[in-house]
Chain A
Amino acid sequence: MTEPTFDAIFEDLIDANAELQSFLAILDALLPEASMLMVSESGAVLDGARPLAVALPVREKMARDARGTDGFITGKADNGTRCHAISLAKFSAVLIISCTASPEDDWEPGSAIAALLRNTLELALYRQEREMLVADHEQSVRQISILQQQHGKLIEDNYRQYRLNQDREKEYARKLESEIAKQTAELREANVRLEEISRLKSDFLANMSHELRTPMNAIIGFSELLSETPLAEEQLEYARTITQSATSLLTLINDILDLAKIEAGKLELEHLPFDLAEVIDNVVAMFKIPAREKGVVVASTIDNRIPKRIIGDCNRLRQILINLAGNAMKFTEQGGVDIEVAYERSAAGRIVSRFSVRDSGIGIPADRVEAIFEKFTQADGSTTRKYGGTGLGLAICLQLVELMGGHLAVASEEGKGSTFSFVIPLEEAPAEIISLQERKEACREKTGGGGKILLVEDNAVNQRLASILITREGYEVEVASDGTEALEHLRHQAFDLVLMDVQMPNMDGMEATRRIRAIEADPALRQDYVGLRDLKQPLGIVGLTAHARKEDETACYESGMNGFLTKPIIKAKLTMILGEMMPGISSPKDNEPS
């Protein structure tokens, strides 16, 4: 493509003479005393501001001559003055000029006036070119200003984007936070739901265990009774097997119940004084016979810096130690089991003591140590088959120890034995409080004194079992099958004690107890009840319930009972509570009707 020119493109709007005219104007301004005209390439004549009249033939000749030379051609204007013509190559035109200021001067090439005019012409040409340069400059200025604008915009943009990015970052951070908050809330909710489910399961388990305990009551009681009847050797063995199996089943049920209670957060520790040495001795005594049979030694030591009588839950402590010692015994074939209570330190008025149960048994592989505390787990699956047990014991111990403020730990070496230990703070019991054990012992002395007991129980099997047990203890027994019947009995007869089942149809034990206490408090009503009218102190009422929870016991006391016995009825416990509550020989019979 050919290099395009302005003239080629805008040919239509190009006025060929416009440029000449503008040049003439510039020159006019530069030479105010000169008059001039221009002859274009095509022969057109353009006049300056001060017209110069030159006859056509003269003008044409001058122009022709001027085109043929570099210098000036001199001629005569119409008015007789001299005029000079010069070719302007740039415009392909000829300029004819008459300068009145120097009419006589020499216009030869090299003369001063010729040089002056040439310079003037150059100047005029430059002036015209300058127009282009100015336009060029202006374009550059505009472009620079655009660049500046763009630069400014870039900086502005940058700042804007910086702020946008900051905003976005904040937005993300906020989103992230709210997302985390949302998820945390969801997790929390899920957790609450899971806890609720877990609690419901524990409740169910606890209830289930109670349901199981009721028939156990009958099985254990009657198998014990059966063993005491005249039996052939073989029959006696069967009866004992039933007792043993039922007892171990009861232990299992109790374990499950304990665990359920612990997990439901319903297990509360007692806070009563007891003799630590006695508890330890009890545990040792329990294992004397099996130890002798296996040929291992069971021994115990207690640091003498530990007080004899302490405050706590002796039953739970005993349970822990029995469990640990039972485990130790189970896995020990030779050597022995040591139970030790060691003094660690004294802190805040408490004696921090370490309980340990050491055995020389098979030990636990290092990689199974963690697992043995899990529910239903033993060191390895096969031990269950070989040694028996539910695997619940340690899980219960672990939780009980934690409730007591300690931590159950185990150190073990395979083949050499294990040591289970825990450190708990012990509180010394104030000297004046008489221990429960002592009270029990005191009571025991007065057993078998005779008396009449009202048994309120709806279940026929339990009625029979309890009746037999009570009769064996040497007391008379009357049976009522619900609260209404019990009140009826009291209307006609006097009793030394009421054994009151809690859950019964028609009127339950709690309601019956409340009614009895109400009658006792009303002198008029009281007169209608033979069994109540002459009592000098409230009638002894012992609650019987399969619900062994603390709150069940509390509810019993709140309804007005003054004793509490869990079912299944264990003979020893019944003996104890009867001994405690029945007016024995050795105690004054001040509550007997006179």
Chain B
Amino acid sequence: MPSAKEILRKFTELKTLPHVAIKVTQLVNDDRSTMQDFEEIIKLDPVLVTRLLRLVNSPYFGLSQKVESISKAVVFAGMKQLRNLVAAEGLRGLFKGEDADFSAPKLWMHSATVAILSGMIAKRIFGKDGEDVFLAGIIHDIGLIVENQIAGEALREACKAYREGKGTLIECERNAIGADHAEVGYLLTKDWGLPQEVLGSIKSHHLAKQVKSVSSTASILQLAEFMAGKMQYWAIPGPIEPLPPELTEHVKEKMADYKIIIRDLPGEMVKAKELYESDE
């Protein structure tokens, strides 16, 4: 059975992020970079420019004035928001094709929901900037896309086993494929220059225990993953794995907060649709 690394070796479609995404990620990590630098990069991709302008002018930003210049849009969006937009733009195209056992578009919707939920939890409950968890949400299941392409049959077997309750998804994947999507996803993205927190959260998002403090990217992602699954935003039907007990305790304490988040989620999804919705 192939290991995660062997699966990755066969995966040709997305060894690295698209050029623009790499540049933008580098710029985010470089504190000597300026908005002009971002502008220069974004300009190279007309699709991205359109996306950016639409996003900045969408209810997600809720600006009173219409933004028409790239430079202004870049400033309004901010560096990390730009990075997320570029990453979403780069990955969206991969989430294609569906059948009874596995639906890539559904997985994309799941990723978007997890991303938005994570952002909301980070901002509304922990009062911290939600851009990194958003990115984690967008890419956390990329490993499934890799498996789908390299070991489609085996993945379907795993899905079937999972649906039939023969173990957690991770267990079923390991049995059928020899690797799991959390590991594959982590290995794929670890050289993309993303924050370490984001990479770690990809690896741990299916763990049955809490890995770090409740406010960490990893915990927020686990929570969002659980909530999105419960909301049926999920590509692979099957029993939802329970939340780690520490996180359950946390939700119990913040019940009112989570009620509000669940209440507001549909509105936020509509507002942010420029970030994840396809033009097609």
Contacts and interface: CB of A to CB of B under 8 A. Distances in A.
Interface in A1-55: 1-6, 8-10, 12-13
Contact of B231 (A1, A131, A134, A138): A1
A352 B212 CA distance: 100
Contact of A6 (B126, B233, B258): B258
Nearest to B80: A150
A150 B242 CA distance: 35
B63 interface: no
Given A4-B231, A4-B262, A6-B259, A13 B124 contact: no
Contact of A13 (B233, B252, B260, B266): B252
Contacts of B257: 135, 138-139
A136 B260 CA distance: 7
Interface residues on A, range: 20 to 34
Contacts of B36: 161, 165
Interface string A149-165: 11001100110110011
A142 interface: yes
A143 B32 contact: no
A9 B127 contact: no
B256 interface: yes
Contacts, number: 75
Given A154-B78, A164-B32, A4 B230 contact: yes
B167 to A, nearest CB: 20
Contacts of B256: 131-132, 134-136
A9 B227 contact: yes
B233 A1 contact: yes
A146 B134 CA distance: 15
A10 B75 CA distance: 39
B106 to A, nearest CB: 11
B125 interface: yes
Contact of A132 (B126, B129, B259): B259
B262 A6 contact: yes
> Which of B127, B129, B231, B256 has most chain A Cβ within 10 Å?
B256
Given A1-B231, A9-B230, A13-B248, A139 B75 contact: no
Interface string B47-58: 000000000000
Contacts of B254: 135
A142 B124 contact: yes
B34 interface: yes
Given A6-B255, A9-B230, A135 B123 contact: no
Contacts of B31: 160
A128 to B, nearest CB: 10
Contacts of B230: 4, 8-10
A149 B78 CA distance: 12
B34 A165 contact: yes
B127 A146 contact: yes
B251 interface: yes
B29 interface: no
A379 B255 CA distance: 104
B258 A10 contact: yes
A150 B252 contact: no
Nearest to B257: A135
B107 to A, nearest CB: 15
A145 interface: yes
Contacts of A157: 35
B242 to A, nearest CB: 7
A5 B34 contact: no
A268 B3 CA distance: 93
A136 B256 CA distance: 8
A91 to B, nearest CB: 16
Contacts of B261: 139
B266 A3 contact: yes
Contacts of A9: 227, 230-231, 262
A101 to B, nearest CB: 33
Contacts of B242: 12
B232 interface: yes
B105 to A, nearest CB: 14
B96 interface: no
Contacts of A153: 78
Nearest to B248: A13
B128 interface: yes
Interface string B64-107: 00000000000100100000000000000000000000000000
A143 B124 contact: yes
Contacts of A12: 242, 248
A139 B261 CA distance: 9
Contacts of B127: 142, 145-146
Contacts of A165: 34, 36
Interface string B118-154: 0000011111111000000000000000000000000
A143 B124 CA distance: 6
A302 to B, nearest CB: 76
A466 to B, nearest CB: 85
A157 B242 CA distance: 42
Interface in B199-256: 227, 230-233, 242, 248, 251-252, 254-256
A146 B131 CA distance: 11
Given A1-B231, A134-B256, A139 B266 contact: no
A147 B252 CA distance: 27
Contacts of B260: 132, 135-136, 139
B251 A142 contact: no
Interface of B: 31-32, 34-36, 75, 78, 123-130, 227, 230-233, 242, 248, 251-252, 254-262, 265-266
17 contacts: A4-B231, A4-B265, A6-B255, A6-B262, A8-B230, A9-B230, A9-B231, A12-B242, A132-B256, A134-B256, A135-B254, A135-B259, A136-B256, A139-B261, A154-B75, A154-B78, A164-B34
